[in-house]
Structure 1
Amino acid sequence: MSTQVQKVAVVTGASQGVGAGLVTAYRKLGYGVVATSRHIPASDDRDVVTVQGDIADRTTAERVIAAGFERFGRIDTLVNNAGIFVAKPFTDYTEDDYEAVLGVNLDGFFRITQLAVERMLEQGGGGHVVQITSTLADRASSSVTSVLASLTKGGLQSATRALAIEYAGRGIRSNAVALGVVKTPMHSEEHHAALAGLHPLGRMGEVSDIVDAVVYLENAPFVTGEILHVDGGQNAGS
């Protein structure tokens, strides 16, 4: 009698907001979860492993994947959710801004994705990588100064498609969810009305909107290389 293998998801930026929602969603799917962020606390759930660390540091990525493999013996899904958004006029960005945004948004993606894909290949192929990006990478807005977001999240979207094609023959899918503005602790309530007005649907996104999109992609085996816009209509126009 065969025993069904428990699948395992890694979620970065997992301590709050969308990341925390994704941890809960993957547990509901029956996955073991490796959750990481700078200050994430230990979990009471024996099927959730937490790893504290800055994802911009390549040693954090190595510790996260090692912890997942040690506890569960495999990695099936990686959700690159960690991200930094700094809204400034282009000429006001500092070197520190540049290094911080590229460190998390690009460096943080690169090493952990390499390690996760290596594990997926060692398991015989099959797996899923999801990037959380921004609709600003596709449609700039005069209301939001976003060059560093466009530079990094646009790069992730291109990498998403490239990974999808490179590993399609090995059964590893790669997709992205491009966000509008989501109601998370990042945004104080006093700004919610103005932020809602940036979306044709007239509201901010909820964490559940993003989680539902990722779960859809997780359960869509014929979908790869997709940039799924969950942005209240921003990408369609204004």
Structure 2
Amino acid sequence: MNNPTRVAIITGASQGIGAALVAGYRKADYAVVANSRSIGASDDPMVLTVAGDIGEPGVGRSIVEAALERFGRVDTVVNNAGIFIAKPFTEYTDADYDAITGVNLRGFFEVSRAAVAAMPQGGHLVNISTSLVDQANSAAPSVLASLTKGGLNAATRSLAVEYATRGIRVNAVALGIIRTPMHGDHEYDSLAQLNPQKRIGELDDVVDAVLYLENAGFVTGEILHVDGGQSAGH
């Protein structure tokens, strides 16, 4: 299928940041393949929804195969799906470990591996990370987030170097506190104090950052912090 329309795969796409990214990429005239565990069908013929848990073996590959079958190409993958559980280290369970590493690492690995193999024309990977990797906070103990998202930051740089001459760019967006269904409204006043700007990030802040990277052809291997200065210090 010879399709000139660029195609983006977005994981964790049913709500919050993922849903905003779907809208942002559609506004940029991309076809979108949207994945989450229980995502419903879309009325937009240029949005293909693929339900499935990317923490499960084989699901990542099936998402890429669905994109190729419907649209004939893959240009971008935004690895947005993630699990965040804040607990003291010794309170994490084996089930927590399996769930977090499954989505945050296996999900990234399987989707990205299959997508890169389908990008002979070049392409772009964007990994959604967290500023807690760089600026740990005792008020939010989250070693499994740092373990997995820190790994994604390292993989971002490694893949950027490995695939630079093939025209595939790889970047990450490290987020601070963003207004999403993950947090209750009563939490935002205190959460805003975690960054120098003293405000909560909005969904548009994330979409703007990802689309900046999408259009920044000379930027690769970058960990772009979208956190109100949280990673810079206090």
TM-score tier, shorter chain, comes to over 0.9
Identity across the alignment (%): 61
TM alignment of 1:1-238, pairs within 5 A: 5-120=4-119, 124-238=120-234
Residues of 1 paired with 2:217 and 2:3: CA distance? 19
Q: Give the secondary structure class of the aligned counterpart of 1:143.
A: coil
**CA RMSD for the aligned pairs?**
1.1
Does structure 1 retain, via aligned residues, the 8 Å contact 2:196–2:228? Answer: yes
Does structure 1 retain, via aligned residues, the 8 Å contact 2:3–2:71? Answer: no
Deviation string, structure 1 residues 47-104 (Cα, Å, up to 9, x no partner): 0000111010122212211111011000000000000000000011010111111011
Q: Give the secondary structure class of the aligned counterpart of 1:177.
A: strand
Residues of 2 paired with 1:59 and 1:126: CA distance? 23
Aligned residues: 233
- AA aligned to 2:165 is G
1:226 is displaced (CA, Å) by 0.1
- AA aligned to 1:52 is A
- AA aligned to 2:227 is D
Q: Give the secondary structure class of the aligned counterpart of 1:23.
A: helix
1:200 is displaced (CA, Å) by 1.2
Deviation string, structure 1 residues 107-161 (Cα, Å, up to 9, x no partner): 11001100000000xxx34100000000111121122101001000000000000
Deviation string, structure 1 residues 163-203 (Cα, Å, up to 9, x no partner): 00000000000000000011101101111111111111111
- AA aligned to 1:84 is I
Deviation string, structure 1 residues 14-51 (Cα, Å, up to 9, x no partner): 00011000000111111110000011110000000001
Does structure 1 retain, via aligned residues, the 8 Å contact 2:3–2:72? Answer: no
- AA aligned to 1:145 is P
Residues of 2 paired with 1:224 and 1:46: CA distance? 31
Residues of 2 paired with 1:64 and 1:111: CA distance? 10
- AA aligned to 2:199 is R
Residues of 1 paired with 2:3 and 2:16: CA distance? 31
1:4 is displaced (CA, Å) by 7.8
Residues of 2 paired with 1:233 and 1:144: CA distance? 17
**TM-score (norm: length of structure 2):** 0.98
Residues of 2 paired with 1:107 and 1:22: CA distance? 21
Q: Following superposition, which runs of at least 4 residues in structure 1 exceed 3 angstroms of deviation?
A: none
Q: Give the secondary structure class of the aligned counterpart of 1:58.
A: coil
Q: Which runs of 5+ in 2 are unaligned?
A: none
Q: Give the secondary structure class of the aligned counterpart of 2:165.
A: helix
Does structure 1 retain, via aligned residues, the 8 Å contact 2:3–2:73? Answer: no
